[in-house]
Chains A and B, each alone.
Chain A
Amino acid sequence: MQLNGAEIVIECLKEQGVDTVFGYPGGAILNVYDELYKHRDEIRHILTSHEQGGQHMRLTDMRELQEKWGGSALQQADRAQQIL
């Protein structure tokens, strides 16, 4: 399948089971945001007021999900996806 770089970023995030991203758009990253728009049903984007705020959100979202799923969530996600 032929994809451009921005599409590959989105596909790779989906491979990893990512369903939420935090961020802030700008000139250089416009292609990626354009793809995010097309995939907005699959990946939720939370627009922050400042990139630093987004970074801290990102930081805990990962921790919390690990707690939420118990065990080693990341491994389980890996395993589940392998089965799929």
Chain B
Amino acid sequence: MGGVCLATSGPGATNLVTGIATAYMDSIPIVAITCNVGVPLLGKDSFQEIDIAGVTMPITKYSYIVKDVTKLAETIRKAFRIAKTGRPGGPVLIDIPKDVTAKVTEYEKEYPGGVYDREVIHSEEEDLKKAVEMIKEAQRPYIFVGGGAVLSEASKELYEFAQKVDAPVTDSLMGGKGAFPGTDERYTGMLGMHGTKASNFGVSECDLLIVTGARFSDRVTGNTATFAKDAKILQIDIDPAEMDKNVMIDLGLVGDIKAVLKKINEHLPQQSHPEWMNKIKDYKAKYPLTYHKDVLTGPFAVEEIYRQTNGEAIITTEVGQHQMWAAQYYKYTKPRTLLTSGGLGTMGYGLGAAIGAKTGCPDKIVVNIAGDGCFRMNMNEIATAVRHDVPIIQVVVNNHVLGMVRQWQDLFYDERYSATVLRDAVDYVKLAEAMGAVGLRATTQEEFKECFAKALTCGKPVLIDCMIDCDDKVWPMVAPGAPISEAFDEQDLKAKEN
């Protein structure tokens, strides 16, 4: 069991809010403990007083202020229980007034009891049978994997399921990555705004979409009216609130994904869809991800990181273009190897995430892939990595602009680059050195290769300033709100111009 986050009252507590919201959106279990001013000072606008339990109420599974020391131990135990049960993950916050931390009461040790069975199925047997029939009737099934498959640790069952259904597999950014191996021939890449054409076209043409633990974010569906328009939708999720939330479904199975898939695998005879699988294979061949091969780019850096780490690293990201490149070009084969803020889209998430990952898994190579804009959000944590001797690798994919916002300005705002240009005197190599880390700079592909090789062996926190062009874009793209079947790339744009 990992660590816990502590902060003091007022600004200490409010500085946790973005992190708590990030965990809430991505269903990640965390326990935040804050202290407040003493009970007699509460509600008097005292120095550094804020009602953090109130502030975090809509973004936690449970938030509580403990004013009675006799209730403290049971509240903490309850918080851990809530963080771990039900929809797996999610933040809880306990606020403790200062005088309560000094008051004395009887304490008795109590180890967490009641080992709960996570593999539960809430749906009726009848619905499971219906699901099996739906799969048997389908001619063009597609499987869409979301973060819930990671949280439920359903990789093995999912793999067997995909073989049995004989379907292609796509995933979402959030945790779906790695639940199904990115190197498998069934895998067609991510779905949605920056998904592959194969996945976007395939899902648009399928007649059954089987969804495991995803919530149909707008970044995935594009225009919901046309999303998977020819398909019946079979959704498997632990949380019934996810059913019919963003997309109307045909059948929902409520339960732990691992348990549900196990059950279906037992009852489903082997299916075979050679024609459909060939069609998807052709899409994959016809629409590969492409980038400019002759210069240093974000995709090149990500592929080089993949090569040099043999796909075994834990990758963390910030939010934006580099995040999409990290999702597209690194092949994730195990769950929890891409840690990213999928739901809230929190710039500044990645560096802290990398330090946390390296602390939890000191034997793994941990790389935070960041843009220069995002890196600035929490770059002071390089000092933390150095102080606590946590040798993470920080790659700053530096285009001197807020690349993703600029990409939208390019495509949808006639190149009016309002407030997205960061050209200034900041020298990231010197910055790293100033905080006691190693700073390296790469301006060519060769230099990046050398820098990364050096970073792998130096045993200290390292920053690589990876210089790329400000006009590089993330392709393919679905315009916001457009049907995903209208995914386009650079070639399509050029063809349109001619």
Contacts and interface: CB of A to CB of B under 8 A. Distances in A.
Interface of A: 1-9, 11-13, 15-33, 36, 44-68, 71-75, 77-79, 81-82, 84
B359 interface: yes
Contacts of A29: 6-9, 12, 34-35, 98, 101
B77 to A, nearest CB: 6
A24 B314 CA distance: 26
Nearest to A36: B6
13 contacts: A3-B104, A3-B107, A9-B96, A12-B77, A18-B4, A20-B3, A29-B12, A48-B381, A49-B381, A57-B352, A61-B359, A63-B28, A66-B336
Nearest to B104: A4
B111 A75 contact: no
Contact of A7 (B19, B77, B107, B361): B107
Interface string B1-25: 1111111111011011011101100
Contacts, number: 299
A17 B118 CA distance: 20
B42 to A, nearest CB: 11
Given A54-B6, A60-B356, 7 more contacts: A9-B101, A27-B9, A47-B388, A49-B378, A52-B352, A55-B22, A58-B30
B348 to A, nearest CB: 6
A50 B35 contact: no
Given A46-B388, A64-B357, A5 B101 contact: yes
Interface stretch (B68-76, B218-226, B231-239, B323-331): B68-76
A11 B109 contact: yes
Given A3-B104, A6-B102, A47-B384, A57 B355 contact: yes
Contacts of B118: 72, 75
A9 B106 contact: no
B316 A31 contact: no
Interface of B: 1-10, 12-13, 15-16, 18-20, 22-23, 28-30, 32-37, 47-48, 69, 72-73, 76-77, 80, 84, 96-98, 100-113, 115-116, 118, 153, 314, 316, 334-336, 339, 346, 348-357, 359-361, 364, 378, 380-381, 383-384, 387-388
Nearest to A76: B115
Contact of A53 (B1, B112, B384): B384
B74 to A, nearest CB: 9
B7 A23 contact: yes
A82 B115 contact: yes
A52 B2 contact: no
A72 B110 CA distance: 21
A22 B339 CA distance: 18
A37 B9 CA distance: 19
A20 B2 contact: yes
A75 B361 contact: no
A2 B28 contact: no
A15 B26 CA distance: 26
Contacts of B336: 63-64, 66-67
A8 B109 contact: no
Nearest to B339: A60
B105 A59 contact: no
Given A61-B3, A66-B336, A68-B360, A1 B72 contact: no
Nearest to A25: B8
Contacts of B378: 49-50, 52-53, 56
B107 A71 contact: no
Contacts of A55: 5, 15-16, 18-20, 22-23, 30, 32, 352
Contact of B356 (A1, A47, A56): A56
Nearest to A80: B111
Residue among B12, B97, B346, B352 with max Cβ neighbours from chain A (10 Å): B352
Contacts of B3: 18-22, 44, 46, 57-58, 61-62
A68 B34 CA distance: 28
Contacts of B361: 64-65, 67-68
Given A46-B359, A46-B384, A53 B352 contact: yes
A50 to B, nearest CB: 6
A37 to B, nearest CB: 13
A30 to B, nearest CB: 8
A52 to B, nearest CB: 5
A59 B16 CA distance: 11
Nearest to A73: B1
Residue among A23, A24, A30 with max Cβ neighbours from chain B (10 Å): A23
Nearest to B346: A56
Given A1-B107, A23-B7, A59 B28 contact: yes
B334 to A, nearest CB: 8
